[in-house]
Structure 1
């Protein structure tokens, strides 16, 4: 499940992600992405990861389609979590995108928020 966090920075999408990510979750984020792009900004992301159980199949497919369509529209990405695989996922995202991607441990989430500029 993806919960959209309220923030004041108009080009950042901040989320708290728990359990499984579904197609419905991706459909919540996609219009937010378009709103930022239409204003002429790159889209920055703050992903707070807690007890994630991956994607369901439809969610994975929807996320891949959105990412393929918008990779050049993404700016900074902050991944905040507490699992080793999450750190590797952030590194893979950094490798496969033109985005600036950083991983932060959960106890350093305020540092991540400062980096992505959502305080």
Structure 2
């Protein structure tokens, strides 16, 4: 499941993933939000918080994640992935392959640091 957190404002998107991400999470929540923000601001600063209950992606969601990266990778100014070391490899690959802006991994205890980082110059 994907939740939009209240820190989402202006060109900043902050979402929390728990349990498993589904195709619906991408199609109904993340993609419309990303398209609305890029239409208004050009690029976005995004923080994805993979909480302790996050277990990964359903098969269809992996494809949606890949499509989002291909179609919108240049729309990200900064992307922070906050979560445990289990997701570090995914965060590094996501940043290296799909994102033209900066990408960085933060531990759960560094959530506020990640929020400040995406909002930086």
The TM-score with structure 1 as length reference comes to 0.88
CA contact (8 A) 1:9 1:117 kept: no
Give 1 or 2: higher strand fraction: 1
What are structure 2's unaligned runs of at least 5 residues? none
Aligned residues: 117
CA distance, structure 2, for counterparts of residue 94 and residue 66 of structure 1: 13
Runs of 5+ consecutive residues of structure 1 not aligned to the other structure = none
Superposed CA RMSD: 1.7
Residue 45, structure 1, aligned to residue 46, structure 2: yes
- Deviating above 6 A after TM superposition, structure 1's stretches of 4 or more consecutive aligned residues are none
- Equivalent position of 1:103 in the other structure: 105
Distance in 1, matches of 2:61 and 2:26, equals 7
TM-score by length of 2: 0.87
Maintained 8 Å contact 2:80/2:114: yes
Rounded Cα–Cα distance in structure 2 between residues aligned with 1:107 and 1:7: 17
